[in-house]
């Protein structure tokens, strides 16, 4: 059986929507006999009558009613496919999918993303905030193109490039008394702790630092986002360890808290990650080069 002809379907739809073969021919920039021939060919294809004429008007038969919805859907799919393909022939740089933590996304990426969209408006950027383990799994399954993750990553399937050290600091309520100049694991373990949820690279790093004074105490509260932690600390409900990059940025002012360096100091390396051997594109190359600028900024 022969495949459907989209030109014939388009002629059929136009005849019905315009109400006549003459009006359809004018819309399609064809002769009226040409449009009539296309509809007749479609009828021969199915061996049924699709259109009835009463005077100069064209009406659907029962079979034509059934075909019309399918024809419209097929023509819409054709239009979408052609539109997508035209994007590749008009300077479109494609889609780049970036996975990172919510902290890096909120405090480090906005200037980079703003510049990319200003310089390359046809570049499509998709962002996915999540745990490092989730980002790595999505890179492996080609659901992401680039990752911004805590290093080191031992899996040899990934290519990594270090960008900057995400220095950690203690934040404590401004009204808290007898706060040392440097906060130790022993001191913080005696405070009510507000920490990021388990499973994150930040929580693991903080937990390893606290273990230097013994088993880490159970936190008073846990949150998914650093801004929530800052909010709770500013009202005096506890203390925390957060990335230094989040201070002075974000939605929560730092007036209600004090910041202290950690002793011993601790940080985590943040780097670019991609699947080794993955085929690159112009868009991915642009994003990769832009993210490398984080090395100089930090």
- Per-residue pLDDT, 232: 95
The reply to whether 59 falls in a domain is yes
Backbone phi, then psi, for 73, in 5-degree steps?
Answer: -65, -45
> Is 248 found in the same domain as 123?
no
Are residue 103 and residue 250 in the same domain, yes or no? no
**Checking phi first, is residue 260 left (phi over 0); if not, alpha (psi -120 to 50) or beta?**
beta
Same domain, 138 and 182: no
Same domain flag for 80 and 110: no
How confident is the model at residue 200, as a pLDDT? 87
Strands, E, within 153-255: which ranges? 158-173, 194-196, 221-223, 240-243
Q: Is residue 100 situated within a structural domain?
A: yes
Q: Answer whether residue 1 is part of any domain.
A: no
Among candidate residues 88, 119, 147, the one where a domain is terminated: 88
Tell me, yes or no, whether 210 and 289 share the same domain: no
Query: Are residues 173 and 263 part of one domain?
Result: yes
- Alpha-carbon gap, residue 77 to 98, rounded angstroms: 29
**Residues 263 and 177 grouped into a single domain:** yes
Is 113 domain-assigned? yes
The mean pLDDT value for 100-114 works out to 90
- Same-domain pairing of 170 and 24: no
Range of the structural domain that residue 154 is part of: 96-163+270-297
Among the listed ranges 46-50, 52-56, 177-181, 208-212, which one has the minimum average pLDDT value?
52-56
The answer to whether residue 137 is domain-embedded is yes
Condensed to tens digits (0 to 9), the pLDDT of residues 155-207 reads 999 999 999 988 999 999 999 999 999 999 999 999 999 999 988 888 999 99
Q: End of a domain among 88, 118, 150? A: 88
Same domain, 22 and 83: yes
Q: What is the DSSP string of 38-83?
A: HHHHHHHHHTS--EEEETTEEEE-HHHHHHHHHHHHHHHHHHHHHH
**Does residue 26 fall inside a structural domain?**
yes
Q: If we measure between CA atoms, which residue out of 53, 54, 61, 17 comes closest to residue 36?
A: 53
**Residue 1 pLDDT > 60, yes or no?**
no
Instruction: Tell me the mean pLDDT in the region 22-26.
Output: 91
* CATH number of the structural domain spanning residue 40: 1.10.10.10
User: Are 157 and 169 in a shared domain?
Assistant: no
Confidence band for 54, pLDDT divided at 50, 70 and 90: confident
Q: Do 129 and 73 share a domain, yes or no?
A: no
Q: How far is 280 from 233, CA to CA, in rounded Å? A: 44
Average pLDDT rounded to a whole number, residues 278-298: 86
pLDDT tens per residue across span 198-230: 888 889 999 999 999 999 899 999 998 899 999
Axis crossing angle, helix 6-18 with helix 62-88, rounded to the nearest 10: 120
In a domain? residue 218: yes
80 in the same domain as 100: no
Residue 88 has pLDDT above 90, yes or no: no
Give the count of domains, the chain: 3
Given pLDDT bands bounded at 50, 70 and 90, which one contains residue 139? very high
Residue 121 Rama label (left phi>0; alpha psi -120 to 50; beta)? alpha
Q: Rounded to an integer, what distance in angstroms lies between the CA atom of residue 282 and that of residue 276?
A: 17
Q: What is the CATH number of the domain that holds 155?
A: 3.40.190.10
């Amino acid at each position: 059986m022969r495949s459907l002809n989209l030109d014939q379907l388009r002629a059929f739809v136009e005849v019905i929507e315009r109400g006549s073969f003459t009006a359809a021919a004018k819309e399609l920039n064809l002769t009226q006999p040409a449009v009539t021939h296309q509809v007749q060919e479609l009828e021969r294809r199915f061996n049924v009558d699709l259109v009835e004429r009463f005077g100069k008007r064209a009406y659907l038969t029962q079979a034509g009613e059934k075909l019309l919805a399918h024809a419209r859907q097929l023509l819409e799919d054709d239009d979408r496919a052609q539109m997508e393909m035209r994007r590749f022939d008009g300077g479109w740089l494609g889609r780049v999918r970036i996975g990172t933590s919510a902290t890096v996304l909120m405090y480090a990426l906005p200037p980079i993303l703003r510049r990319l969209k200003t310089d390359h408006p046809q570049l499509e950027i998709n962002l996915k905030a999540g745990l490092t383990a989730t980002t790595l799994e999505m890179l492996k399954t080609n659901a992401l193109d680039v990752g911004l993750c805590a290093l080191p990553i031992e899996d040899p399937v990934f290519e990594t490039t270090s960008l900057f050290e995400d220095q950690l600091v203690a934040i404590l309520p401004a009204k808290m008394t007898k706060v040392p100049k440097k906060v130790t694991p022993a001191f913080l373990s005696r405070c009510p702790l507000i920490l990021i949820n388990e499973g994150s690279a930040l929580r693991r790093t903080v937990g390893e630092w606290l273990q230097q004074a013994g088993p880490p105490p159970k936190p008073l509260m846990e949150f998914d986002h650093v801004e929530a932690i800052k909010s709770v600390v500013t009202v005096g409900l506890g203390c925390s360890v957060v990335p230094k990059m989040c201070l002075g940025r974000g939605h929560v002012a730092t007036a209600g808290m004090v910041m202290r360096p950690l002793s011993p100091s601790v940080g985590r390396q943040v780097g670019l990650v991609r699947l080794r051997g993955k085929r690159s594109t112009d868009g991915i190359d642009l994003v990769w080069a832009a993210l490398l600028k984080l090395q100089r900024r930090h």
